[in-house]
């Protein structure tokens, strides 16, 4: 009897030890595929780094192609509901939840992705943007300023008149309206179908999305007027984060913020430089840079939109002042 009891106790100890060694599993929701640039730039570096260092403590598993929720607009709620612990989020699709991110969508404010991501990283570190109380911000990014890709000739501002063009956010919509186009708010994964069936004439997207979401198949005119980028986030449920061991929290934070932003920019820049070069080398395509007069006219429209946004509230005005001060500081040190 004593031997049986001792054996049972030993088995219990082994099972308890094995159970204790099991890592905490975290689910990451990603609505696109593992071949997309967004995954390679924003999600994969973070997941690989955390899983490698936190082996035995936590393990992040990525669920692709909307396995936890297909609608890109519902990704922040997936995290709050517990259907996912972490999610890749396009904040422009849930405007009321992340209203301050409109500052990042103002047309013409940022000259490049590297510039906008650097400013956003500083804003997040300073807790300057509202809407994130329930989240841990693992990564905060902005895409390259989106340009115009169509299946009909668009080679100048004048060609925009009356054209139905997909936009990502109200800032882009306001800019296109003032330039004579008809903006259509549409998720990025619906663009190629909409151009193909004629419901829109073209779309504002960044170069990577031209390839990732099939826009390249249906658009052969590429008018490279940069308007504004799309704010993007990798967000984690704050309560879930707080329940993790301190050592696991430290690992997640180590590969968040500036670390994650740096990997995002480096990956995207390499991919998008290659894509633009490929578009320019294809004789069947028309890649057009805006003329100096078109740039001057567009920049005047962009400045008016920014001033109008700032005039809507003191908060907006202060936020725009802060961002412009950061841009001045960054540009002066180059």
Is 331 within the bounds of a domain?
no
Tokens representing residue 328 in the block = 């001045």
Is 52 within the bounds of a domain?
yes
Rg (CA), the chain: 23
The one-digit pLDDT tens for each residue of the chain (334 residues) are 444 344 444 434 443 443 456 999 999 999 999 999 999 999 999 999 999 999 989 999 999 999 999 998 999 999 999 999 999 999 988 888 999 999 999 999 999 999 999 999 999 999 999 999 999 999 999 999 999 999 999 999 999 999 999 998 888 999 999 999 999 998 888 999 999 999 999 999 999 999 999 999 999 999 999 999 989 999 999 999 999 999 999 999 999 999 999 999 999 999 999 999 999 999 999 999 999 999 999 999 999 999 999 999 999 999 999 999 999 999 888 6
Give residue 20's pLDDT. 53
Domain shared by 178 and 302, yes or no? yes
Is 126 within the bounds of a domain?
yes
Domain shared by 138 and 257, yes or no? yes
H or E segment and range at residue 232: strand 231-237
- Spatial distance between the Cα atoms of 215 and 192, rounded to a whole number of angstroms: 5
Is 90 within the bounds of a domain?
yes
Domain shared by 43 and 94, yes or no? yes
Domain shared by 167 and 58, yes or no? no
Is 293 within the bounds of a domain?
yes
Give residue 31's pLDDT. 93
What pLDDT, in 10s, does the model give residues 60-113? 999 999 999 999 899 999 999 999 999 999 998 888 899 999 999 999 999 999
Give residue 89's pLDDT. 96
Give residue 6's pLDDT. 45
Is 115 within the bounds of a domain?
yes
Domain shared by 137 and 246, yes or no? yes
Domain shared by 119 and 259, yes or no? yes
Domain shared by 181 and 299, yes or no? yes
CATH number at residue 289: 3.40.190.10
CATH number at residue 116: 3.40.190.170
Q: What is the pTM of this model?
A: 0.85
Is 172 within the bounds of a domain?
yes
Q: How many domains does the chain have?
A: 2
- Spatial distance between the Cα atoms of 37 and 29, rounded to a whole number of angstroms: 16
Question: Judging by DSSP bridges, how do beta strands 24-29 and 182-185 pair with one another?
Answer: unpaired
Domain shared by 138 and 109, yes or no? yes
Tokens representing residue 113 in the block = 């992705």
Tokens representing residue 305 in the block = 């939109």
H or E segment and range at residue 261: helix 257-281
Residue 289 is part of which domain span? 147-228+283-307
- Spatial distance between the Cα atoms of 203 and 79, rounded to a whole number of angstroms: 29
Domain shared by 102 and 247, yes or no? yes
Tokens representing residue 223 in the block = 């008018």
Give residue 170's pLDDT. 87
Give residue 16's pLDDT. 42
Report DSSP letters for 15-62, one per residue.
HHHHHHHSPEEEEEE-SS-TTSHHIIIIIHHHHHHHHHHSTTTEEEEE
Domain shared by 40 and 139, yes or no? yes
Domain shared by 110 and 211, yes or no? no
Give residue 14's pLDDT. 40
Give residue 274's pLDDT. 95
Domain shared by 93 and 130, yes or no? yes
Instruction: Provide the 10 A C-beta neighbour count for residue 13.
Output: 10
* Helix, strand, coil abundance in the chain, percent, nearest 5: 55, 15, 30
Is 165 within the bounds of a domain?
yes
- Torsions phi, psi of 110, nearest 5? -110, 140
């Amino acid at each position: 009897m004593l031997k049986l009891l001792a054996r049972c106790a030993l088995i219990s100890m082994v099972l308890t030890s094995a159970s204790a060694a099991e890592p905490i599993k975290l689910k990451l929701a990603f609505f696109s595929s593992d071949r997309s640039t967004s995954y390679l730039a924003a999600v994969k570096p973070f997941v690989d780094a955390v899983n490698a260092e936190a082996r035995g403590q936590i393990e992040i598993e990525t669920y692709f192609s909307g396995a936890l929720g297909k609608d890109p607009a519902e990704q922040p709620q997936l995290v709050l509901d517990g259907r996912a612990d972490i999610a890749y989020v396009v904040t422009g699709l849930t405007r009321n939840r992340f209203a301050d991110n409109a500052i990042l969508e103002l047309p013409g404010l940022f000259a490049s992705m590297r510039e906008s991501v650097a400013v956003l990283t500083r804003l997040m570190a300073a807790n300057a943007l509202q809407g994130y109380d329930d989240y841990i911000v693992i990564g905060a990014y902005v895409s390259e300023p989106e340009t115009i890709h169509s299946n009909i000739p668009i080679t100048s501002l004048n060609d925009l008149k009356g054209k139905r063009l997909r936009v990502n956010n109200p800032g882009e919509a306001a800019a296109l309206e003032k330039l004579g186009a008809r903006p259509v708010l549409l998720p990025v994964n619906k663009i190629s179908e909409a151009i193909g069936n004629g419901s829109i004439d073209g779309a504002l997207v960044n170069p990577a999305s031209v390839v990732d979401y099939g826009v390249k198949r249906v658009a052969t005119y590429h008018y490279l007027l940069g308007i504004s980028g799309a704010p993007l986030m990798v967000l984690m449920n704050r309560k879930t984060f707080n329940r993790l061991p301190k050592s696991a929290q430290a690992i997640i934070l180590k590969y968040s913020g500036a670390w994650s932003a740096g990997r995002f920019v480096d990956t995207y820049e390499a991919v998008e430089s290659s894509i633009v070069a490929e578009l320019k080398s294809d004789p069947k395509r028309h890649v057009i840079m805006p003329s100096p007069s078109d740039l001057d006219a567009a920049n005047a429209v962009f400045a008016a939109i920014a001033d109008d946004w700032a005039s809507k509230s003191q908060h907006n005005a202060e936020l725009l002042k802060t961002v412009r001060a950061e841009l001045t500081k960054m540009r002066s040190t180059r």
